[in-house]
Amino acid sequence: MDFALAQGSTAHHPPPPAGGSHRVQFYEDPAFLFDVVARFLEVGFQAGEPAVIIATEIHRKGFKARLKAMGFDVERALADGRLVLLDARETLAKLMVWGMPDEERFQQVIGPVLDKSLRGAGGRRVRAYGEMVDLLLRDSNPRAALLLEAQWNDLGRLHPFSLLCAYAMGGFQTQKDAQVFHDVCSAHAHVSPTEAYTQVQFEEQRLREVAALQQRSKALESEIEHRKRVEKELLAAVQLRDDFLAIAGHELRTPLTALQLQLHSLTGLVRDVENPRVKERLERAQGQAQRLGELTEELLDVVRLGAGRPQPVVEDCDLAELSREVVDRFAEAVTRSGCQLQVFAEEPARGRWERTRIEQVMTNLLSNALKYGAGQPVELWVKAGADRATLVVRDGGIGIPLEAQARIFDRFERAVSSSSFGGLGLGLWIARQVVEAHGGVIHVESEPGRGATFTVELPYSV
């Protein structure tokens, strides 16, 4: 018989042939699996049936050791072709096309192996054991595993062989895995549970074990339902928070705009007043109003970006020119911080970005550099590369511990106490959202006491 000629559609994952001998063994301990497979092969050898094992290296060694312990001459069986050992990972690689097992390749690779074993045994059934399906499941590719099971079933409809598959029960951990587990069971004519059940000796104990499993199943179902309710409540709470932030932000924006206009008018009225205390207090009031306006915009950004990262509205933009404009607006803040700001952005770096959003990224990075690097040099670099532009903001301030460098890009996260430095912990989160929306990346390099260097890389078009 020519296994390589076996045909059959796997599109709908048909069930195993009626009365077929396609078994699946679930296991927890590999030692238990070694015993099961060795017994499966021993029964076949006693009946004159050859065997083909497709397994990982460590499992092949375990099977050979068990067979030798049972008095079977493994080396002789390998030499005369009664036993064939194949590596599961290498064999699987020969079958795969675009992440799925190809039926034609399956027949070309597996068919000749089974043909040879069948002819050598004078037409007796072949016993086959395979772990390729378990490898696919471990690779988070259950669709491919089920398709491969279907291809084995199609082959079994035309030719006599007994197939034993094995899956580690650890591969079915979540609620999402329940359907995959059900489909795996449906693909086999016989299903054998793990050693937790099969090693129980007496029927009464087995019934007790089944009852205990049923209780645990119900308890898990209840826990899942409870977690779903809690998740729903948390989502509702998050939505309420976002609604509050949106309302608060808009309500604050209107009086703030009026306050800023009044302060601007007062600035003109006191321009000729010689009392320096009046001017100083007015400047402080303007600074506080501006800061409050920035915080309000950050809150509104949380709501906008939290609802889903918007697609940038891009336009032609020169990153170097934009950086110089932003730096000009920071002149007063630089003076107050005591920093010396150096800008290296002479060469154009033109791309298609959302100008106001990229400006926001620069503003947030510079604000942080002046805040945490007060009194120390601050540098801003813009560089034009082959396929992307790079923005670098470097300060010589307090630095960021390694364990905090990942979380500072999260919402409301900070590397230092809010009592020491103001802010909501949103600037870097907003910067990351904007940069990633443009297809770019942002990262930091820093050591405590040695400043921080933030690098933004932006492809020239989204």
**pLDDT tens, 217-262?**
777 778 878 888 888 878 776 666 666 666 666 556 666 667 767 7
Distance CA 252, CA 249 (A): 5
- Say which residue, 290 or 433, is predicted with more confidence: 433
Q: What are phi and psi of 24, to 5 degrees?
A: -130, 135
40, two tokens: 């499966």
| C-alpha torsion 51→54→57→60, nearest 10 | -20
Inter-CA distances, 127 with 39, 146, 228, 248, Å: 12, 21, 46, 71
Q: Which pLDDT score, from 0 to 100, does residue 351 have?
A: 94
State the SS3 of 277-323: HHHHHHHHHHHHHHHHHHHHHHHHHHHHHHCCCCCCCCEEEEHHHHH
Q: Which pLDDT score, from 0 to 100, does residue 366 have?
A: 93
pTM: 0.49
Q: Which pLDDT score, from 0 to 100, does residue 349 have?
A: 94
Q: Which pLDDT score, from 0 to 100, does residue 196 have?
A: 78
Give 341-378 pLDDT, tens digit per residue: 999 998 999 999 999 889 889 988 998 999 888 889 99
Write down all domains in the chain, each with its CATH number in brackets: 18-199 (3.40.50.300), 237-306 (1.10.287.130), 315-459 (3.30.565.10)
- Say which residue, 421 or 155, is predicted with more confidence: 155
Tell whether the model's pLDDT for residue 322 goes beyond 80. Answer: yes
Helix (H, G, I), strand (E, B) or coil at 367: helix
Give 111-169 pLDDT, tens digit per residue: 899 888 888 877 788 999 999 999 999 999 999 999 999 999 988 777 778 999 999 99
Tell whether the model's pLDDT for residue 6 goes beyond 50. Answer: no
Distance CA 37, CA 149 (A): 18
Q: Which pLDDT score, from 0 to 100, does residue 1 have?
A: 41
- Say which residue, 284 or 109, is predicted with more confidence: 109
448, two tokens: 């405590």
439-451 mean pLDDT: 91
Give 328-346 pLDDT, tens digit per residue: 988 888 888 899 999 999 8
**DSSP structure class, residue 344:** E
Q: What are phi and psi of 421, to 5 degrees?
A: -135, 135
Radius of gyration, alpha carbons of the chain: 34
Distance CA 102, CA 147 (A): 9
Give 42-94 pLDDT, tens digit per residue: 999 999 999 999 999 999 999 999 999 999 999 999 999 999 999 999 999 99
Q: Which pLDDT score, from 0 to 100, does residue 4 have?
A: 40
Closest CA to 356 of 299, 400, 420, 313: 313
**Which of 32-36, 123-127, 201-205, 398-402 has maximum average pLDDT?**
32-36
Tell whether the model's pLDDT for residue 418 goes beyond 60. Answer: no
355, two tokens: 């100008």
The percentage of the chain sitting over the pLDDT mark of 70, rounded to a whole number, equals 79
What is the residue-averaged pLDDT of the chain?
83
Helix (H, G, I), strand (E, B) or coil at 449: coil
Sheet order of strands, 441-446 included: 341-344, 378-384, 388-395, 452-459, 441-446
55, two tokens: 């397994």
193-202 mean pLDDT: 75
DSSP 37-106: HHHHHHHHHHTT--EEEEE-HHHHHHHHHHHHHTT--HHHHHHHTSEEEEEHHHHHHHHEETTEE-HHHH
Tell whether the model's pLDDT for residue 214 goes beyond 90. Answer: no
Do 393 and 365 meet the contact criterion of CB atoms below 8 Å apart? yes
Query: Per-residue confidence at 18, pLDDT binned at 50, 70, 90?
Result: very low
Q: Which pLDDT score, from 0 to 100, does residue 93 have?
A: 94
Tell whether the model's pLDDT for residue 286 goes beyond 90. Answer: no
Helix (H) or strand (E) holding 350: strand 350-353
Helix (H) or strand (E) holding 427: helix 427-437
